[in-house]
Amino acid sequence: MSVMIDNIFTPHFSITPDVNADLADLERKSFLVEQALLMPKHEAWIRREIQVRRAASTTQIEGAKLDEAAVGRLVAQGAGARPTEDEQANLNALRAYEFVDFLSDQHDIPIDELVIRELNRQFMLGASEMLTPGVYRKGQNTVGRYTPPDQGDVPALMRAFALWLRQEDETHPVIKAGLAHIHLVAIHPFWDGNGRTSRALATLLLQRSQFGFRKLLSLESQLFRNRDAYITALEKTLGTNFFLEYDATPWLEEFILAVRSEVGYLVDGLTDWHRWMQQSYSTGEQYGLSRRQMEGFIFARRIGQITRADYMEITGVSAITASRDLAALVKAGLLAPEGKTRSRVYHPAPI
């Protein structure tokens, strides 16, 4: 059954007292995050962790089994010639979030249908051609008890949605990110990867706004931690059949609470980071490490491992110097090697 579609999407929602309170708290915490003192190199390390956390969480929401630690190992060691389905899903997610971070700084590139389709294509690389990654579905799909709109309505619905995304209005950026997430889920324009694409779109919209949190927020982690509440809020809001005038208020309450909770984790994590860095530098000084050895040691402690390639990247030294420095850290009892020479990984040893 076809639906009547306006030229531009018009969301329906109310600003409840809970939403107002959460938004006010986000204003305060956003200031704390922006004022946190981080060396650019160390901020890049944390962002690397966040990318792994996002990928692991968004795929686990969909049923993948690889946790954050496993995805971290996948990044360090690679997947081999024939990655498993879960490995491929996480490699795709890592690539998709790199694309999100890139687009976040390209304000001259509009967030439109092309961007949404490319996000889906990135998440679905390697999937069967029958799933048409990055192309709107040609048929009816269902999600649990929910039936999305007819395939014939998808192109017009997506055009109206894209016009709304590009519209500059008074909508709070966090609310707009939440509305974008649920409306893309509501339309379900692709055969597969709609949830992952919706979460990435919400992250992109946040990072394009003053609530970007330095690209250090993993909203996906919070949604995974509270997956049941997340799914319930989507189901409660959308019902069982697509209805263009659905009330997004129940979903927004859950979404904005999730953002607030994850920002709380981030603020606490940045505070812990400074304390942890002081302890790590103190340990490095006790062992008489050079400045670059200390950087490598701290990276290994923070990430949980380091390779020779990692050491070369963060210190800028040659392969020979990297091997010599890592051997010295092993001899000092600070790192423990694992694997053969070419694929060797060094793990921080108990101190």
Q: For the chain, which residues make up each domain, given as ranges?
A: 61-265, 287-348
pLDDT (tens digit per residue) in 34-77: 877 777 888 888 898 899 999 999 999 999 999 998 998 888 77
Would you state the pLDDT for residue 342?
A: 66
Would you state the pLDDT for residue 314?
A: 87
Would you state the pLDDT for residue 3?
A: 59
Would you state the pLDDT for residue 124?
A: 96
User: Is-same-fold flag (61-265; 287-348)?
Assistant: no
- Record: fold of 287-348: Arc Repressor Mutant, subunit A (1.10.10)
CATH top-level class for 61-265? mainly alpha
In this structure, what are the phi and psi dihedrals at residue 237, rounded to the nearest 5 degrees?
-75, -40
d(CA 103, CA 95): 12
Would you state the pLDDT for residue 273?
A: 79
**Which residues of the chain register pLDDT less than 70?**
1-6, 341-342, 351
| pTM: predicted TM-score of the whole model, two decimal places | 0.86
